[in-house]
Amino acid sequence: MSNDPFHGVGRGSSNAEERWHKAAQALAHERQRNRDAGAVVLVEGRRDRIALEKLGFSGPIEVLNRGWPVDDVLVHLLETYGRKSLVDGGPSIIVLMDWDRTGGRLQTTIRRNLESLDVRFGEDLRSTLMRCLKPETRVVEGLSGLIDALGPLVDMYDDASFIG
């Protein structure tokens, strides 16, 4: 048995380690913004929220699928979290839909609606995870199965994870 955290993950991918490090850096960056700047992460469902919590996200995480129309959820986010973070001036909303067909449609709808309201939002995390983790998973909840390999990398890139 190998001690390599990438053993058995992403086989056939010669750049698996590099992809995982890029994914971990993106996750660590958004985890810091979620925790320190209060940026809310919008995910599709409850299991997506659980996956992010397992990865150490401790700030606000909101679920899109709560029986409300998408527009109502977005208005709720704006009323609750504002247009931008008061801490770092960055976007107060991080949109993280799955990188499958349904998630892509939702991401497009949310992007269109937020842009029509002239609201900046973050979607770089989804873009990075789509590029880096597509062979292993196409959904946010799939991150739960990658915790053993991905979690330590995210912690390594997140300076504050070692404090407290």
Rounded to whole angstroms, the Cα distance separating 36 from 26 reads 15
Q: Spell out the domains of the chain, with CATH numbers in brackets.
A: 17-157 (3.40.1360.10)
Query: Which residue shows structure tokens 């609201």?
Result: 119
Cβ neighbours of residue 107 closer than 8 Å, sequence gap 6 or more: 95, 97, 123, 126
Alpha-helical runs (H) found in the chain: 16-36, 46-54, 70-81, 101-116, 124-133, 147-157
| CA 100 to centroid of chain Cα atoms | 14
Length reported for the chain: 164
**pLDDT per residue over 11-62, tens digit each?**
444 588 999 999 999 999 999 999 999 999 999 999 999 999 999 999 999 9
Query: How much is the pLDDT for 8?
Result: 45
Rounded to whole angstroms, the Cα distance separating 110 from 114 reads 6
Rounded to whole angstroms, the Cα distance separating 152 from 113 reads 36
What's the N-to-C CA distance of the chain in angstroms? 34
Pair of tokens at residue 7? 């053993």
**pLDDT per residue over 94-144, tens digit each?**
999 999 999 999 999 999 999 999 999 999 999 999 999 988 999 999 999
The model carries a pTM of 0.88
